Amino acid sequence: MENNWGIAIHGGAENKSRDELSDSKQAAYEQGLENALMAGWHILNDGGSAVDAVEAAVRSMENNPLFNAGRGGSLSKDESNEFDACIMDGKTMQAGAVAGVKHVKNPITVAKTIMQESKHVLICGTGAEDFARDHDLPFKAEEYFKTEEKEKALKEAKKEEETVGKDTVGAVALDKTGNLAAATSTGGLVNQYQGRVGDTPIIGSGTYANNDVCAVSCTGDGEGIMRANTAHEVYAHMKYKGLSLQEASKAAMTLYKDRIDGDRNFIAMDPKGNVEFSFETSLMFRACKKGDAPMYVAVWPDDEDNWEKEG
């Protein structure tokens, strides 16, 4: 196991051209990915758990206004922020999740605390915030979460009468003792109806982990991912069809495409440390580091040239 441990993260998937993402903005995203990746990797390197590693990586992205999770999250129709998050421990198959929280600084940490300190799995809205207060977790004022970029995006979305945005963040990890974990966090869609919940906090939909098979974190069209149960489908194709992680990932991306619209994008890791970055969009912000191997940070599909998926 010493050589297989590692962590992979995603910072969302979008349909943007290279002309729409400036060099400076791409560099900022890559730096944000590196910071998040190393926050999790250092925990693993020191012998820490996969659960702690994915929480740390996701929390780093929640603190970065570039990513649509925590600070800088998308604004709902009523101009408020609403956050969903989930974490799952592949060893115990315990999980914790929150939906529709507005003021907690790090939704992923609330989800982890629910998993560890509560008999519940998913707590929503004010109940989740009461739970966070009971456990002395940090809160922030509304102004902390709002950015000029996201306010502009909401105005444009209202003008076009549409909902947009796919930048959920997530992480999967395998620690030195062979345990898998997955975590996902999101600010939802721009101009979504207040109270809308996507795939992120739904176990088996946007997040899933089981030591025997794989860990998965999704990003993309939340309604489609929820209906397709995408994260669990990766697991099911491996568990019941005996497919490899790569084969199962391809199958999960296309299952029921004739009936379920929307792109499905995700990262996945198996007990051998193999990693898959699966995305249908024109880009995915992503990164990985296995053991002491060089770090991999990428945005565009052709950035795969220096990435060895299997082995």
Write down all domains in the chain, each with its CATH number in brackets: 6-301 (3.60.20.30)
pLDDT at position 304 is: 65
Residue 28 CB contacts under 8 Å (≥ 6 apart), including other chains: 66
Asked which of 52-56, 186-190, 226-230, 300-304 is least confident by mean pLDDT, the reply is 300-304
The yes-or-no verdict on residue 186 having pLDDT over 50 is yes
Phi, psi of 238 (to 5 degrees): -75, -45
Share of the chain above pLDDT 90, in %: 80
> What distance in Å separates the CA atoms of residue 294 and residue 173, rounded to the nearest whole number?
16
**Amino acid in the structure at residue 263:** D
Instruction: State mean pLDDT over 108-135.
Output: 98
- Tell me the CA distances in angstroms from 73 to 49, 158, 208, 238, one per residue in order: 28, 17, 23, 34
Instruction: State mean pLDDT over 306-311.
Output: 50
**Amino acid in the structure at residue 103:** H
The residue annotated as part of the active site, out of 109, 168, 186, 230, is: 168
Q: Which two tokens stand for residue 179?
A: 């345990």
| pLDDT tens digit sequence for 158-179 | 877 676 666 799 999 999 999 9
Mean pLDDT, all residues of the chain = 93
Q: What is the pTM of this model?
A: 0.95
C-alpha angle 227-112-150 in degrees, rounded to nearest 5: 65
C-alpha angle 58-197-164 in degrees, rounded to nearest 5: 80
- Residue 182's region, left for phi above 0, alpha for psi from -120 to 50, else beta, is beta
Which residues share a beta bridge with 297?
287
C-alpha angle 101-107-112 in degrees, rounded to nearest 5: 125
| pLDDT tens digit sequence for 41-74 | 999 999 999 999 999 999 999 999 999 999 989 9
Check if 281 is active-site: no
> What distance in Å separates the CA atoms of residue 130 and residue 114, rounded to the nearest whole number?
12
pLDDT at position 153 is: 86
Asked which of 5-9, 34-38, 60-64, 156-160 is least confident by mean pLDDT, the reply is 156-160
The yes-or-no verdict on residue 233 having pLDDT over 80 is yes
Asked which of 69-83, 121-135, 167-181, 275-289 is least confident by mean pLDDT, the reply is 69-83
Q: What is the CA radius of gyration of the chain?
A: 18
